[in-house]
Structure 1
Amino acid sequence: MTQELELQQDAITTVREFLTALQLDAVKEAVEVLHPDVVWKNTSLPDVRGLRRVGGVLRGLERNWAGFGVEIHHIAANGDIVLTDRTDILRVGPVSIAFWVTGTFELRDGRIILWHDHFSWENLLRGAVVGVVRAALPRR
Structure 2
Amino acid sequence: MHSAANIAVVERFVAAMNHGAFEEAYALIAVDAEYHNVPYAPVFGRQAVQDTIERAGVNECDWTIHHIAEADGVVLTERTDRIRVGERWIDIPLMGLFKIAGGEIVLWRDYFDPAATHPKTVTTQGEHDATR
Q: Same fold (TM over 0.5)?
A: yes
Unaligned residue ranges in structure 2 (runs of 5+): 124-132
Structure 1 segments (4+ residues) deviating >2 Å: 55-61, 121-125
Q: Distance in 2 between matches of 1:110 and 1:72?
A: 20
> How far has the Cα of 1:60 moved from its partner?
5.6
* Paired amino acid for 1:36: V
Q: Corresponding residue for 1:138?
A: none
Q: Corresponding residue for 2:105?
A: 112
Matching residue within 10, 18, 21 for 2:13? 18
What count of residue pairs does the alignment treat as equivalent? 123
Q: Corresponding residue for 2:126?
A: none
1:129 match: secondary structure: coil
Q: Write 1 or 2 for the structure with the bigger share of strand.
A: 2
Matched, 1:29 2:24: yes
Q: Distance in 2 between matches of 1:99 and 1:118?
A: 10
1:107-130 per-residue CA deviation (whole Å, 9 max, x = no partner) reads 1111000000000123333xx328
Q: Write 1 or 2 for the structure with the bigger share of helix.
A: 1
Q: Distance in 1 between matches of 2:36 and 2:53?
A: 13
Unaligned residue ranges in structure 1 (runs of 5+): 1-5, 134-140
Contact 1:11 1:79 survives alignment (8 Å): no
TM-score by length of 1: 0.77
> How far has the Cα of 1:59 moved from its partner?
4.7
Q: Corresponding residue for 1:57?
A: 52
Matched, 1:67 2:70: no
TM-score by length of 2: 0.82
